[in-house]
Amino acid sequence: MERPVAVAEHAVSVAEPEAKKRRKPFSLSRAASYLQALPLWLVLGFFLLLPILLLLVVSFWDYDFSGLYPDFLTLNYEDVLGSWVTWKTYLNTLKFAAIVWAITLFVGFWIAYFLAFHVRKATTQTVLFLICTVPFLTSNIIRMISWIPVLGRNGLVNSTLIQLGIIPQPIEWLLYSDFAVVLAMVHLYTLFMVTPIFNTLMRIDRSLIEAARDAGASAFQVLWTVILPLAKPGMAIGTIFVVTLVMADFSTVQVMSGGQSASVALMMKNQMSLLQYPAAAANAVVLLAIVLLMVGGILRIVDIRKEL
């Protein structure tokens, strides 16, 4: 009685991939599927591949104050990589990325955890989640600018603290500082962390938590050994969002630091306003390479395929 079962199971598992491998013999239907994919190809080609290609080409061009000259120079890259200012700017941007990432991950995880495990009713869950997205109903700039009356020298925070007698004079570093930049970025980007983590947490089979409790796990052990490992893919996706957004940010850094802090994108913007397009392009290529490396690193550590 044992053998036929084993054979039957084996046969089933073998038959499936073979069925998938089989090619469609009909060439017209193959052409049709290419045709169906064509619009997407065109969109991606025109709006993604072509611009990147142009960026790459222009980054090797020559320029002066009045024009661009097609050429093949590595000078732009030498300028980017050889300048101490660029390195400092990159480090500063990476610093923002690291701090903002750590804070959004922490805050985002707990918000998602609360929504997924402590809010029982599905409607409450949806309502609370929608509330999380309310800030996104206004533009980035408005959300940023609205911090100014809060954090300013005579803003809400400072005047409240002074009136309560907690501090004798206004705190200077609240606005136009790295603190303000990080605060605004956390405010802008936390939702990008909450959403994917919430998604993964909702997919965790609740009986796994019961099984862990059955095996004697404390609340902390359940979190550490079951929930956190299973939330990793969501954390990775959120990390990719936040890191790429922070690395490419220029408006937040400019507005919230009052021009006192620099970021790579801000540097590029300045170069472009001086019509140094090839220099900006070289910078963009370097930034793109760094961000791609970071994303590649994240994908190596965490397998996010299950989530897609």
Partner 1 sequence: MSKAAEIELASVTKRYGSAVAVDAISLRIPAGTYCCLLGPSGCGKTSTLRMIAGHEDVSDGDILLGNTMITQLPPARRGTSMMFQSYALFPHLDLIDNVAFSLRMKGVERTERRNKALEMLKLMQMDGYASRRPAQLSGGQQQRVALARALITDPEALLLDEPLSALDPFLKIRMRAELKKLQTQLGITFVHVTHSQEEAMALADLIVIMNDGRIEQAATPREVFETPATAFVARFMGDHNVVSGRGAGSADGLALLDVPNGGKFAATGTAPGDGAPIDIAVRTDRVRLRPSDTKGLGFTGTISNIEYRGASVKLSVDGAGIEDFTAIVDERSFFEKPASVGEAVPVSWDAGDAIVLGRLAT
Tokens of 274: 């001086």
Q: Percentage helix, strand, coil, to 5, in the chain?
A: 80, 0, 20
Residues 59/81, Cβ–Cβ less than 8 Å: no
Nearest one of 5, 101, 54 to 295, comparing CA atoms: 101
Q: Is 159 in the site for partner 1 (CB under 8 A)?
A: no
Q: Is 218 in the site for partner 1 (CB under 8 A)?
A: yes
Q: Is 9 in the site for partner 1 (CB under 8 A)?
A: yes
Q: Which stretch binds partner 1 (CB under 8 A): 17-25, 91-99, 217-225, 280-288?
A: 217-225
Considering beta carbons, is residue 124 or 260 the nearer one to partner 1? 124
Residues 82/292, Cβ–Cβ less than 8 Å: no
Q: How far apart are CA 114 and CA 125, in angstroms?
A: 10
Helix/strand/coil (H, E, C) string of 217-279? CCHHHHHHHHHHHHHHHHHHHHHHHHHHHHHCCCHHHHHHHCCCCCCHHHHHHHHHHCCCHHH
Q: Is 221 in the site for partner 1 (CB under 8 A)?
A: yes
Q: Measured from the CB of residue 58, what is the shortest distance to partner 1 in angstroms? A: 46
Selected from 214, 273, 300, 305, the binder of partner 1 by CB under 8 A is 214
Considering beta carbons, is residue 77 or 117 the nearer one to partner 1? 117
What single letter denotes the amino acid at residue 205?
D
Kindly identify the residues of this chain, within the stretch 167-206, that bind partner 1 according to CB under 8 A.
Answer: 205
Q: Measured from the CB of residue 105, what is the shortest distance to partner 1 in angstroms? A: 19
Considering beta carbons, is residue 161 or 217 the nearer one to partner 1? 217
Q: Is 7 in the site for partner 1 (CB under 8 A)?
A: no
Kindly identify the residues of this chain, within the stretch 222-281, that bind partner 1 according to CB under 8 A.
Answer: 225-226, 229-230
63: β partners: 68
Residues 161/171, Cβ–Cβ less than 8 Å: yes
Q: Measured from the CB of residue 301, what is the shortest distance to partner 1 in angstroms? A: 14
Q: How far apart are CA 75 and CA 79, in angstroms?
A: 6
Q: Measured from the CB of residue 210, what is the shortest distance to partner 1 in angstroms? A: 5
Q: Are strands 62-63 and 68-69 parallel, antiparallel or unpaired?
A: antiparallel
Q: Which stretch binds partner 1 (CB under 8 A): 4-12, 94-102, 171-179, 263-271?
A: 4-12
Residue 191: partners with Cβ closer than 8 Å, 6 or more residues away: 108, 132, 133, 135, 136
Q: Is 71 in the site for partner 1 (CB under 8 A)?
A: no
Q: Measured from the CB of residue 195, what is the shortest distance to partner 1 in angstroms? A: 21
Q: Measured from the CB of residue 203, what is the shortest distance to partner 1 in angstroms? A: 10
Q: Measured from the CB of residue 201, what is the shortest distance to partner 1 in angstroms? A: 14
Q: Which residues bind partner 1 (CB under 8 A)?
A: 5, 8-9, 205, 207-208, 210-218, 221, 225-226, 229-230
